[in-house]
Structure 1
Amino acid sequence: MLEDKRILLIISGGIAAYKSLDLIRQLRKRGAWVTPVLTKSAEQFVTPLSVSALAEEKAYRDLFDLTDEAEMGHIQLSRSADLIVVAPATANLMAKMVTGQADDLASTLLLATDTPILVAPAMNVRMWLHPATQRNLATLKGDGVGFVGPNEGDMACGEFGPGRLAEPVEIVVAVEAALAEGPLTGRRIVVTSGPTHEPIDPVRYIANRSSGAQGTAIARALLALGAEVVFVTGPAEEPRPEGAHVVEVETAKQMMDAVAAAMPADAGVFAAAVADWRVDGAGDSKIKKQDGEIPSLNFLENPDILATISQSKSDRPALVVGFAAETDDVIENATKKRLRKGCDWIVANDVSPETGIMGGRENAVVLISDDGAEHWPRMQKDAVARQLADRIAAKLG
């Protein structure tokens, strides 16, 4: 996907700069050429030697380097790339980009270019949430600058919240999407992900054990192949796929409505773990515990999203892919589900507790279609997603 693409990677200061080394490695692994640029602050966290060794390219550092200017001036350097990636991007560098400052090599390159720019911010949570940073974010997005992250999590400073640099694999997917002219360009695909929460009362709910990791990975893989992705997700901790049109829902009914609103589409990938039932007449007040009494709950069947879309006579996508999370007789149950629902493919997996798949980072699936059951080896969920995305691209032609 990135074979022979030229990436100008600007690394600014911050503890997250160490992740730029892995980012370079992953970009090079995918065939991209990486030209690194370090700010003075970045050199406090990673060395020009380590960056240069991984990139197999000289690391540029100084605006007024006579040798660099003679060999390749900063104007040419800024325009010879297919994409400029800033990772990590500090609050300071984002502010420079907004105001058009050009007082070092990195900011001058960003001002002197007409090349697309992708920014991966990383900073303290308070800095990220500060109104000034949020204004700068809105301005840069309005200028056409792309963003990936930041993620939410523990900070090196001991605080928790949004501001963590996106993981290198997420940045790579965003790079692929930014450069995408892939086999799915012009195709619209709906992906559902995560669990649904069906309320019992205002504080309790029924849900499935789903992290949303596989559905999110599939959305990212489809984006990397150029697809327009509508990502309908229930409550999940997994970061949302950058570049997708994200629709947040809570219940199965809300998910059904969101999927119906997203039609028509070329394909639908229904990876969400949708609750089969909801409570009839969920209360507006918390059910109080009373000694010796167990509350009685009446259940109603939730809308069957996969069957509804598969059997639609008007808005059925050309390819409908369902998922079957099973604990027993995986292939038999998944095969019956495909026929019962009317979908084209079922991606089945064994989610018994001992497999560690539900909520884990790996998956072992069986792709069931008219051609039978095809076993895929256990691999990272990102790898499963890429393989499935490639199959979808081949099927849609």
Structure 2
Amino acid sequence: MQIIVIIFSAIIGIQVIYLLVFLIAFSKKRSATQTQQLPISIIICAHDEEQNLKELVPHLLAQDYPDFEVIIIDDRSNDNTFDWLLDETKKDHRLRMVHVNRTPPHVNGKKYGITLGIKAAKYEWILLSDADCRPKGNQWLNTVSAHLGESTSFVLGASPYEKAPGLLNVFVRFETLLTAIQYFSFALLGNPYMGIGRNMAYRKSMFLEKKGFNNFLNVTGGDDDLFVNQHATGKNTQVVIGLESLVYSLPKTTWSSFFNQKIRHLSVGKLYKFQHRFLLGLFVFTWLLTWFIGIPLAFVPELTYIVLGALAFRTIFLALIVNFTAKKMGQRFEAWLVPFLDFIYVFYYLVTGLTALVSKKVRWKN
């Protein structure tokens, strides 16, 4: 029993250390590195996204920025995307379309589409997002542009999900926020490991020099996080944080679609660098053990109050970190729900994590 108590204490200690690291990272002072508004190419890869594009494109073209273009890759769409885009490109010279009829064998469709879009881009800086996303306002390009320094190759942004009623929406937003806390913290402390393709910028010349997605063309996903994991460093990576930098995305509306999406994301994590797999794995593993060891220990009479106190301390600390970092990122989150979300996260990760570990085939879209 004494050994179990020591292990539980160590687990709580590791969790608290991680949370302190997140707090320190987000407490660091950050300053913009660029005053010149460099030209930017926004690239969106879309498959059967006519309705979403009709909402998104006006938001993009309304950006208060002097020199940019919007490139939409029509990736083998079956709806009216091609005809609609063809008409729209005639109305505004800043809007361009790249049409994909077919993809080469054994090449992921989205990576192929993004690659064609980047090659077609007129400008050095590429800014990526998705068709179901919406910039928070018309200053998105300005906030990103402020971080396009001479030594910078990557700029990582956040992309929370829109708020909606229901438990699923709350959990989706919690899980997404937790992911952002981790990859922002690592990047802020000089060890970037991933980004979000819904809000990320990098150099066209760097993409072509590194041969783009060549090392993982047949992997579903990874066009954002694996590319960052392979080439981002503490010296060439900036993060953009704040309300006007946010790009909101439409959340999944069923648990099955959400799980499928996360299994796809987590399956890519198996290809991260070892140090990142270790650090992220240790955080999640100790999170799981906090509850799986803590709950049984709480039923031991002489340990009940000590264990419950430790669990309460960690959960309250987590809620405070979530509240603090969410505000830093310009988001609002119901921190009072964190104790409940903290607990169900354990079962969520067991299901998705184990499934992703054994999954051999996942897909983006047909």
The TM-score with structure 2 as length reference comes to: 0.30
- Structure of greater relative contact order (alpha carbons < 8 Å, 6+ residues apart): 2
Q: Which has the higher strand share?
A: 1
> Scaled by the length of structure 1, what TM-score is found?
0.29
The structure whose Rg is larger is: 1
Structure 1 or 2: larger helix share? 2
